[in-house]
Structure 1
Amino acid sequence: MMRRALTLIPALCLAACAVGPDYQTPDAPPPQALAAPPKVAGQALLAGRDIPADWWALFKSPALDGLVREAMAHNADVAAAQAALRVARENALANVGSFFPSVTGSFQATRQKDPTGTVAPTAANNAPQLNLFTPQLSISYSPDLWGGIRRAQEALDATAEGQRFQVEATYLTLTANVVVAAVTEASLRGQVAATQSIIADADKALTILRRQRELGQVSAADVAAGETAVAQAQQGLPALEKQLEQQRHQLNALLGRMPADPTPETFQLSDLTLPAELPYSLPVRLVEQRPDIRLAAANLHAASAAVGVAIADRLPNLTLSGATGSSASALDSLFSPGNGFWNFGATLTQPIFDGFSLMHKERAARAALDQAAAQYRSTVVLAFQNVADTLSALKSDGDALAAAQRADAAAAHSLALARRQLELGAVAPSVVLAAQQAAAQARLTLVQAEASRLMDTAALFQALGGGWWNVPPAEAGGEAGHAGAAGGT
């Protein structure tokens, strides 16, 4: 009879249905969700161009490449995301056991004395005292009649999938932050160098003014104005040096280093090459590439499955249980004829009244599904806005850089003319001071424009997903991406 009962288990599984909504992948936005890519001066946007896994290598800086790889190996946020992925995967694997019967074994040894004045001895030889040894094997199984276990497994698998893309998002954010930190350092170094050059030029102009004052060619007010120009130029240098030092600390933190740890790598804008060709993804590809969109889709999937779990909890539940074993007063007679026993039973339970708790839990699950759907739509909209904003920034950067280059060249030429005329006494010192200020501002604006273009180029790679799908899997048949390459199963 026990064997016949166990053969019913597969049949019950096959006959079971899964209540609740079946997850449907959201439709991709239409092609017109993104406008045609703008024309960017000096850079070509190529539709359909794939993004390499090591996209930062396109800046052609070995030092930058080394820092990014060090950050991926030692950053604590990456380690935490990988650990969270292992947690999610192990939780999903742990729930698989719910599909199988639970089998436990036990062995009980007791010695007892019967109250012979009240009851007859239980031992076969009528002895009041006896030893009793009972080995037993118990089996319990709850068929997944309504698919509640399957929906729970579906939710856990979706959660693990979402954590996988959280890992990819962490890697993407980290690599982009390292690139931006290196560009920001290069920009600050350029601004420091430009400011030091401005101070040196102001000192030279002040020396000329003092010489001319000694000859009576200029007034004391002109000399004072020159001294003010020097002081103003010097005033901006400490702030830039502070920002540079803080930027070095930030870069160390991204690399998993302490602030006081040495950082031999330094960056200048001339060390970084602007990529001439940039990728441009169509909307249907963008929703597949962005880790945040894939994470939101996984959360939506988990919320959909949770509705099925809540519905199944309100329906009848069947539990099959049985046990077999033997009981004897001596160990050597445990398996003797007549000492064996078995039992089998079925229990059907149905929630009748629980203060409407299960009803409200189902409603909460449905509301959570609505929330996840709205969050998915919001994530998609923000992702497309991110891409559009970055493309607009690149176009503006190209125009701004061209204008800054023209302004720098014009200001430098104007300053050179003013200095020659000052030496000849053809112009007032105030003209030179004005030209110096214009040249200083033009040079700082040029450095900032070059840095902005590099940073926005990195932002485009980040906005398009960063090429994680081109990271080879750790083993044949495994998942592509950093999550798969990291092991973590």
Structure 2
Amino acid sequence: MTNSVTSFSPQSKGGCCVGAHTSRWVRSFFVVGLLVTVGLVGCSMAPRLEDPLQPLPEEFEAAALADQSAQHYWWHGFGDPYLNQLVDSVIARNLDLRVAVARVAEVQNQFRIARSEQLPSMELAARRDQQDTPSNIGIGGQLGDRFSVPGAPEFPDRFDYTTYSASLGFAYEIDFWGRVRGTKRAALQEFFATQSDVRTVLMGVIGETVATYFEIAARQRTLELTQESVRILTERTEILSDRYERGLVSPLEFHAAQQQLHAAKADLPVLESQLDATRGRLSLLLGSYRMPMDTMLVPESAYTYALEEIPSGLPSDLLQGRPDVVAAFQRLEAARERIGAARAVQFPSFSLTGAAGTQSSTLSDIVKTSQNFWLFGTGLTAPIFNAGRIRANIRVAWAQYEQLALQYEKTVLMAFRDVEAALVNYGKLKERHASLTAAQASAHDRVQIQELRYLRGTGDYLGFLDARRNLVLSEIGLMESRRSLAEARLAVHRSLGGTWIQEGSVLNPETP
């Protein structure tokens, strides 16, 4: 663009294009405006998007579940302020989430690059060129013969001159067939898909945080209950040891008590190691190698929580908010637009170029209007032979579209299956939890009865200890069931894909 400007010889007179030919400027820019308008509203080569999905149910068959009171921040449904603060901290500090947000910034600028091709590009150039050439080549060789006649002035042996120029040039491709628009729309859909990827990562990070939180709570409580079981077994073994020495119990009963005590003690290091590993996972979610212990202690409120039921027959359009489904559809749309862009390459491309500036052999004359120049050009380029490259690119775009259509269908089917499985699993675990709750209540009643019998002298103290240990084991089982129930509840929210996270409330990536 600017190179063509500097190729003008210093003897050319740019002033001829000013004043008398102003009307030509008007006509030229009228043509430019008309062609730019045509380029902006031209046709599109992208195919119509066919629905790739099989018929799907209108609602989910499984009835169950959860709380709709916290539609946007679903983890608030657990009613645990400490958990809410923890999730907020993880959202602010998690490294995976920060990587995903950085990826959004990358794709956002890729869209801006694609969008920039839809507008003319302009360049400002300033040059100083110095040239020293023999006079007997080019036009100098033709003029030299005229100076060889008698009386003619002496013709120089070399030409040595300097050229100063300043120009403003532009170039624009008229996007009549929609190639640039298709590329821009594809980049925009990729940007939207990357935003959906952030929500997918967000949902996964929040889900893992909630699951780890309740796992820490369960392991803390299990460790405490196991320590209580060891204390009970220690007391029981001491009583049996005294009775064994007095010959009141058999060796078999005494050694069985010792075996139970040692087995319970052997569980303690394993439980402590598991608790430490779980706390380490939480530290990693918080973007730290190891957090202070006081931040890793889960309050007792995490041991118990109440959840409301979700009504049966959840509508299937809830999956429209699942970010992986949304991202799959957006990438399918991007592939469709790329087909249009690939098709458009088959047809002629139209371009406009122009420049205006000033040029002189001396720097002092460069500001004079007589040294001005301008140029305007239109171009048409049509593919004639490219060894099948364009057709192959179109086939590649179609193949990519078909792959993404199948992937989208698979993603939707998997989403339905995930929800169905999560609902069924949650319902079954609720039934199991109800049975374990009843068993724990019975174990508690048994302890009270055994204690009353012991105080009245009608029962043995060992029977009371056995009842207490049985209650501890019931509470351990109930604690594990409560953790499984929380994870199942979490799986339902994750299967719905963050539909209860308000748009822009947790993360609000900048729009392009």
Asked if these proteins are the same fold (TM beyond 0.5), I'd say yes
Alignment of 1:72-111 (within 5 A): 72-111=91-130
Letter in 1 for 2:240: L
Q: Please state whether the residue corresponding to 1:19 is helix, strand or coil.
A: coil
> 1:51, 1:461 within 8 Å by CA — same for their partners in 2?
no
Amino acid at match of 2:408: Y
Asked whether the equivalents of residues 183 and 269 of structure 1 are also in contact (C-alpha less than 8 Å), the reply is no
Pair 1:357–1:391, CA change in 2 (3 A):
same
Q: Residues 51-109 of structure 1, C-alpha deviation per residue, up to 9 Å, x if partnerless?
A: 53222222222211111111111111111111111111122122221111222222222
Q: Name whichever of 437-446 and 370-379 sits farther off.
A: 437-446
Q: Is the aligned partner of 1:3 residue 2:29?
A: yes
- Sequence identity, in percent? 24
Partners of 1:14 and 1:230 in 2: CA distance: 82
Decide whether aligned partners of structure 1 residues 64 and 15 sit closer, same or farther in structure 2, where only a CA change above 3 A counts: closer
Tell me the residue number matched to 1:475: none
Q: Name 2:485's counterpart in structure 1.
A: 453
Paired residues for 1:382-401 under 5 Å: 382-401=414-433
1-structure distance, mates of 2:485, 2:375 = 77
Aligned 8 A contact 2:47 2:336 in 1: yes
Rate the CA distance shift 1:269–1:307 in 2: closer, same or farther, 3 A: farther
Cα contact 2:60–2:313 (8 A) shared by 1? no
2:270 and 2:496 mapped to 1: Cα distance? 35
Match of 2:327 in 1: 295
SS of the residue 1:65 aligns to? helix
Cα-to-partner distance string for 1:1-41 (whole Å, 9 max, x where unaligned): 43344234234325621102144677796444521514xxx
List gaps (5 residues or longer) in structure 2. Answer: 1-23, 144-152
Give secondary structure in 1 for the equivalent of 2:129: strand
Any idea what SS the aligned residue of 2:416 has? helix
Aligned equivalent of 1:190, options 201, 221, 228: 221
Aligned-residue offset at 1:133: 1.6
Instruction: Name the CA shift for 1:280/1:350 in 2 (closer, same or farther; >3 Å).
Output: farther
Deviation at 1:439, TM superposition (A): 5.3
Report the equivalent of 1:19: 45
Paired amino acid for 1:105: L
Measured in 2, the distance between the counterparts of 1:60 and 1:156 equals: 41
What is the root-mean-square deviation in Å for CA atoms of aligned residues? 3.3
For 2:223 and 2:136, locate their aligned partners in 1 and report how far apart those are by CA, in whole Å.
Answer: 104
Change (3 A) 1:66 1:45: closer
Query: How many pairs align?
Result: 469
Q: Which residue of 2 aligns with 1:372?
A: 404
| Residue 336 of structure 1, CA deviation | 4.6
1:336–1:232 distance in 2 versus 1, CA, 3 Å = closer
Distance change in 2, residues 1:283/1:377 (3 Å): farther
Query: 1:409 Cα deviation (Å)?
Result: 3.6
Counterpart of 1:311 in structure 2: which amino acid? R
Residue pair 2:74, 2:500 contacting (<8 A) in 1 also: no
1:137·1:325 contact (CA, 8 Å) conserved in 2?
yes
1:466 is aligned to 2:498: yes
Q: Which residue of 2 aligns with 1:476?
A: none
Deviation (angstroms), 1:338: 5.5
CA distance in 2, matches of 1:14, 1:408: 72
Counterpart amino acid of 1:16?
A: G
Q: 1:26 to 1:147 in 2, by over 3 A?
A: same
Match of 2:259 in 1: 228
The letter of the residue matching 2:33 is T
For 1:8 and 1:25, locate their aligned partners in 2 and report how far apart those are by CA, in whole Å.
Answer: 37
Match of residue 52, structure 1, among 68, 71, 85: 71
Equivalent AA in structure 2 for residue 201 of structure 1: I
Q: Which moved more, 1:351-360 or 1:361-370?
A: 351-360
Matches within 5 A, 1:402-413: 402-411=434-443
Give the conservation status (yes or no) of the 8 Å contact 1:386–1:463: yes
Q: Are the counterparts in 2 of residues 104 and 138 from structure 1 also a CA contact under 8 Å?
A: yes
After superposition, the C-alpha distances for 1:249-297 in whole angstroms (9 at most, x for unaligned) are 1111111122254442422564342222447784443232211111111
The one-letter code of the counterpart of 2:220 is R
Judged with a 3 Å threshold, the aligned counterparts in structure 2 of structure 1 residues 3 and 287 are, in CA distance, closer, same or farther, namely same
Match of 2:232 among 179, 186, 201: 201
3-state SS of 1:465 partner:
coil
SS of the aligned residue for 1:86 comes to helix
Mark the CA change 1:395 to 1:287 in structure 2 (over 3 Å): closer, same or farther: closer
Map of 1:332 onto structure 2: 364
Structure 2 residue 148 is the aligned partner of structure 1 residue 115: no
Find out whether 1:246 has 2:277 as its counterpart: yes
Structure 2 CA distance for partners of 1:454 and 1:373, relative to 1, 3 Å: same
SS of match in other structure, 1:324: strand
Q: Which amino acid aligns with 2:72?
A: A
State the secondary structure of the residue aligned to 1:217: coil
Matches within 5 A, 1:311-326: 311-326=343-358
Q: Aligned with 1:449: secondary structure?
A: helix
Counterpart secondary structure, 1:99: coil
Alignment CA distance shift 1:214-1:264 (3 Å) = same
What TM-score do you get using the length of structure 1 for normalisation?
Answer: 0.85
1 CA distance for matches of 2:387 and 2:306? 65
Aligned partners of 2:72 and 2:500 also within 8 Å:
yes
Name the larger-Rg structure. 2
Q: Name the counterpart of 2:381.
A: 349
Q: How does 1:159-198 map to 2 (within 5 A)?
A: 159-198=190-229
Matched residues in 1 for 2:256 and 2:354: separation?
Answer: 100
What amino acid is aligned across from residue 142 of structure 1 in structure 2? E
In structure 2, C-alpha distance between the alignment counterparts of 1:68 and 1:370, rounded to whole Å: 39
Residues 352 and 377 of structure 2 are in contact (CA less than 8 Å); yes or no, is this contact kept in structure 1? yes
CA contact (8 A) 1:51 1:466 kept: no
Is residue 15–residue 145 contact of structure 1 (8 Å, CA) maintained in 2?
yes
CA contact (8 A) 2:62 2:424 kept: no
CA contact (8 A) 1:63 1:265 kept: no
The question of whether the paired residues in 2 share the 8 Å contact of 1:163 and 1:295 is answered with: yes
Give the Cα–Cα distance (whole angstroms) in 1 for the partners of residues 446 and 280 of structure 2.
Answer: 39
For the 8 Å contact 1:113–1:130, the answer to whether it is kept is yes
